[in-house]
Chain A
């Protein structure tokens, strides 16, 4: 497979050489996607474990799946880096990026970095538990390092797949784009999981909730809309997120479980799954429509506020009434919509709070000001997403 690039060869010829080389790297992209899926499934499982059983060790199945994902991504990428650096052909080396004298695709380095961040977080998190208590909060400094590692694994898988997609043509490109959409779903799922504490049902009629969503999901959806070469790219990624979340929710809650920690205020008999996924399919469809209509006529700065507005209108239009359904309807209580997913430590006082929406705080800013803030946040998020998406379309290595 080693093809020497001769001086003076055309860009097209060089590109086609890289296409020839793709068969030797596609396995790595798919391995990274598998690793990212392991990590995300493991994270979901682990959160559910903490909501249901509580007590854990380093060796719980959920932890093992997360660690396996991290190691698969890190080790496979490390192998690719060593092989490319020491045994790779010149074409292979010239299809990669340099990193401290070694060579590998950009996504591989991000996976290795993610694996390193996950490993770093382990002793830090262990000490943190001993110093400040076991997992008092999901969002803590060592968990942020772990989350950065997990993000990196998913982003690494995304970039490896993206580079393959960007190099491929025809039907093979469509197949890789579908894999990319699946990975994009994991990328979006990452935001959703990390924001679990800030996106409770009872807050879904508040500006704070929409502000939190506006800060993250427009970024995820617009970047995927730009990067994935499908007719409905953001919709495909959002669908992937939704299907994975629903599948995990229905599977996880089917397993029996009882808490092994106390105090227990909810006498649960099965695993408690995370809440029904956010209805981001609607804004994803809207974003796809807007971007397709806009074509190449508008710049990022002009598009960002339009996408922010479209995102917010479409999301509020579906999520607001759906939240009403989840909070008030008895049909929502049960395995399908899972609106009674109370963690074992939720005391009756707090449970009562989940049966209604949070009232607006008395010292809240005026509605117009809160809406303006949410819109500004969504605009910034869209802007960054568009820029990052543009960059992703250009990634070749």
Chain B
């Protein structure tokens, strides 16, 4: 535990974030009409760019899978005709395809399955941002330099010939004055061409600089804590960065909450809080801090915008000691203090309060990064039987994944990495309840977005770890009236 010292977090929080932190790939488990489906979208690092889409159809009677990129501003009517996804050779129920994401902003991939039971569409929201910058490979750079030198040398030779040989009538010898004139012109042309090449290099640098400036930057989150005799209040002011504007539209509630705020103590990640600030003013979020002991915390706030875009803001915050008893500001707030962590391995069982246990039911082999995996758990009562779950914020369970260096943060549900409200705003957009510049009818949003979700006590969170390393995993379930949190560590290869 001690090795997860606060030092590791120093490198943390300004890392690239989109819907999550350091975890751009999107996984969705759910239904497309009558057909169960898993969709993985790997968005491009640059936009316009190609997103890779993988579809696993969990039904035998599906014949066709089509993929459409829908930009929120244009709606489905402004999307190109769908592309047929191709079957993955040797894997009958896997389909794959590539989609161009041409504009920066909020997209959804519409995955339509057609088969014996008709057709159905799953909406998978994706943020399209420039998040990476491609270096010029040295080999390509060398090739371009050689070709460039040849072109410049060729151009100088052409200039010399144009001023010399070419003006001499056919058959006449090229005399010395003509040669001197040609050389003189070439000498004059050389610096002009050199200036043009330098200008081109400067232009390239300018384009690169513009690109860097417009790369995605998570909005900033400025925390301020005020304390009096009965309150320890966190006010979080969210702002776009000076050079990148991500927040184009108002925040909408996801699972009925304007923000899902997670606090993790930097000293060994022992304290974990899942809070729900209210939006006291535009982009100003306020919550009480009831449980957290004084200390330094990492802060991750998930918000979803009216245009379907999900963003995570993050920062560090030093929380002072509570003056007395502070009452939680939202009944769905929850927390956990970890004195020991359960390694995620075959047979791992985590004891929860009230006699419940949370048992790992996933694969026996080590989890590999870059591969979709199911984080499966079973909630059992004291008699060892799986127990039905109460919905917690509309879901059978919530999971939070944090890499030990805090370079990866993601908030998962059994439906995957997406915010369910993003799906809803796209569906409402298509129904005509919103316009490109208009307002979403927020009353139409359902906090309980997955009525068909299994609440049997067997949970599965689909996820694709972005890189190897040790991750902390908090799994939150509600087998009784209380939210219980299991804490695991997982080593990803």
Q: Which residues of A contact B (CB under 8 A)?
A: 5, 9, 11, 14-15, 17-18, 21, 54-55, 91, 94-100, 106, 109-110, 112-113, 116-117, 119-120, 123-124, 127, 130-136, 140-141, 144, 159, 163, 167, 258-265, 345, 347, 391, 394-397
Contacts and interface: CB of A to CB of B under 8 A. Distances in A.
B154 A260 contact: no
B151 A116 contact: yes
A395 B166 contact: yes
23 contacts: A14-B172, A15-B170, A17-B171, A18-B170, A54-B100, A96-B165, A97-B161, A98-B161, A99-B154, A100-B157, A106-B165, A109-B161, A113-B151, A127-B134, A130-B134, A131-B211, A141-B203, A262-B79, A263-B103, A347-B73, A397-B165, A397-B167, A397-B168
Given A132-B207, A134-B48, A397-B165, A123 B170 contact: no
Contacts of A54: 80, 100, 102
Contacts of A96: 165
Contacts of A135: 48
A109 B158 contact: yes
A117 B200 CA distance: 14
Nearest to A99: B157
B144 A123 contact: yes
Contacts of A113: 151, 154-155, 158
A380 to B, nearest CB: 15
Contacts of A132: 46, 207-208, 211
Nearest to A92: B170
Contact of A396 (B81, B102, B148, B169): B169
A68 B172 CA distance: 36
A258 B167 contact: no
B71 interface: yes
A163 B168 CA distance: 11
A340 B71 CA distance: 24
Contacts of A17: 170-171
A123 B70 CA distance: 30
A262 B70 contact: yes
A382 to B, nearest CB: 20
Contacts, number: 156
Contacts of A123: 140, 143-144
Closest 3 CB pairs of A and B: A18-B170, A14-B171, A263-B74
Interface in B304-321: none
A95 B170 contact: yes
B49 to A, nearest CB: 6
Q: Which of A55, A116, A136, A264 has the most CB atoms of chain B within a 10 A radius of its CB?
A: A264
A110 B73 CA distance: 47
Interface in B165-215: 165-173, 200, 203-204, 207-208, 211
A14 B174 CA distance: 13
B136 interface: yes
Contacts of B162: 106, 391, 395
Contacts of B100: 54-55, 134, 261-262
Contacts of A134: 48-49, 100, 102
A124 B140 CA distance: 8
Q: Which of B49, B148, B161, B204 has the most CB atoms of chain A within a 10 A radius of its CB?
A: B161
Given A132-B211, A263-B79, A395-B166, 7 more contacts: A14-B170, A17-B170, A55-B100, A99-B161, A130-B49, A144-B200, A263-B71
A264 B169 CA distance: 58
Contact of A397 (B157, B166, B207): B166
A87 B453 CA distance: 81
A131 B204 contact: no
Contact of B102 (A94, A95, A261): A261
